[in-house]
Amino acid sequence: MKKNNPTSSKSIAPIIDSASNKFKAILILFLVVIAGFLLYKIYSKNDYSKYKNKIIPEAVKKVVGNQNTKIIIDNVKETNGVIEFELKLGSDDKAQKYTSYITKDGQILFTSGIKLASLSTAQSPSQAPAKKITCADLPKAEKPNLIAFVVSQCPYGVQMQRVFKKTIEEISEILPYLNVKYIGTVDNNKITSMHGDEEAQENLRQICIREEQKAKYWPYISCYIQEGKGDQCLTTAGVNFSQLKSCTEESNRGLKYAKADFDLASKFNVGGSPTLLLNGEQTVSEFDFGGRVANAIKEILCCGSQQKPVFCAKEISKGEVAASFSKIDEASSTGGNSAAGCGN
């Protein structure tokens, strides 16, 4: 009978122990990596939670001005060294979504942005900063006209309509010099807009009221910019329902008016709401003349006039107004006169 070799058994034991130790070391390293990853995820979640619940809402409120405007922040993440997030403003049924950005220190807010990687060099050439326009630079007309291009559910387009309304309230004789037109397209006899069909249909409604029930336009807008409740505001403003329905449904009326707006916007490469056009010749920034305030609107009109109207000597409001839908016109905080807008 063959006897067991004790020397052979002893030589195998260290090999088994060594393999066991290696396995334990690999297991420990694996657990450390997993723990580190989980800790990173927890830290990142808490870090982004700080942006979502505190830093971003505080920054947005400074821009919007109206503390009562509903703000929803979602999908917060880091992108190319800044914090990207989805911003919704307004009530749930009227809220519009914007992809926005804020620097990590919370000091600079971009209400919208362009990802340069998606653009060709030909589409995004380098440009020098625009020179500030002065009164002398503006085209003159015997009867000046200032157009604000907007879309009806852009918070900043609504803000510009509120500025126009306030200007008219303080200088009633300025009404014939101001006009509101809309941005969009007509494709296959259907109106479109940058924030979807609901906005497009509201744009068409406002266009029809402006063209066929002119006296009802500002009463309707004054109501609509409070809560965005168009159906209620038709009654409040005394709009003729039958006439409005015919206008919005007949392509040779509503769509014809809308296309005229869109063609003019296209002629001047207008893609942002709001954009001002003076005397049908030149786009102009309200921020070169004091900001998105009533007095700036008056100043632009007066600078564009060959013979200044009497109201040019009148001092009117330089106070900021609320963006988005708001029951009050005044901004409830002084967070800076922001040049924010909505763009395609």
CB-count burial class (<10 Å; 0-12, 13-18, 19+) for 35? exposed
Task: Give pLDDT tens digits for 109-152.
Answer: 666 555 545 444 444 444 455 678 899 999 999 999 999 999 99
- Cα angle 218, 221, 226; round to 5: 135
Q: Where are the domain boundaries for CATH 3.40.30.10 in the chain? A: 135-343
Which of 63-67, 170-174, 324-328 shows the lowest mean pLDDT across its residues? 63-67
Q: What per-residue confidence (pLDDT) applies to 5?
A: 57
Alpha helices in 92-240 (DSSP H): 155-170, 197-212, 214-227, 230-237
| Residue labelled with tokens 């291009």 | 149
Of 253, 254, 304, whose CA–CA distance to 278 is shortest?
Answer: 304
Q: What per-residue confidence (pLDDT) applies to 326?
A: 92
Q: Where are the domain boundaries for CATH 3.10.450.630 in the chain? A: 47-114
Task: Give pLDDT tens digits for 61-85.
Answer: 766 655 566 778 888 887 666 788 7
Token pair of 177, please? Answer: 């010099």
Does residue 25 surpass a pLDDT of 90? no
Mean pLDDT to the nearest integer, 280-305: 96
Q: What per-residue confidence (pLDDT) applies to 64?
A: 60
Question: Is 47-114 a domain of CATH 3.10.450.630?
Answer: yes
- Chain centroid to CA 263: how far? 22
Mean pLDDT to the nearest integer, 200-216: 98
The Cα 344–Cα 341 span in angstroms is 10
Of 173, 260, 248, 176, whose CA–CA distance to 212 is shortest?
Answer: 248
- Whole-number mean pLDDT of the chain? 83
Question: Is 135-343 a domain of CATH 3.40.50.1240?
Answer: no
pLDDT grade, residue 95 (50/70/90)?
low
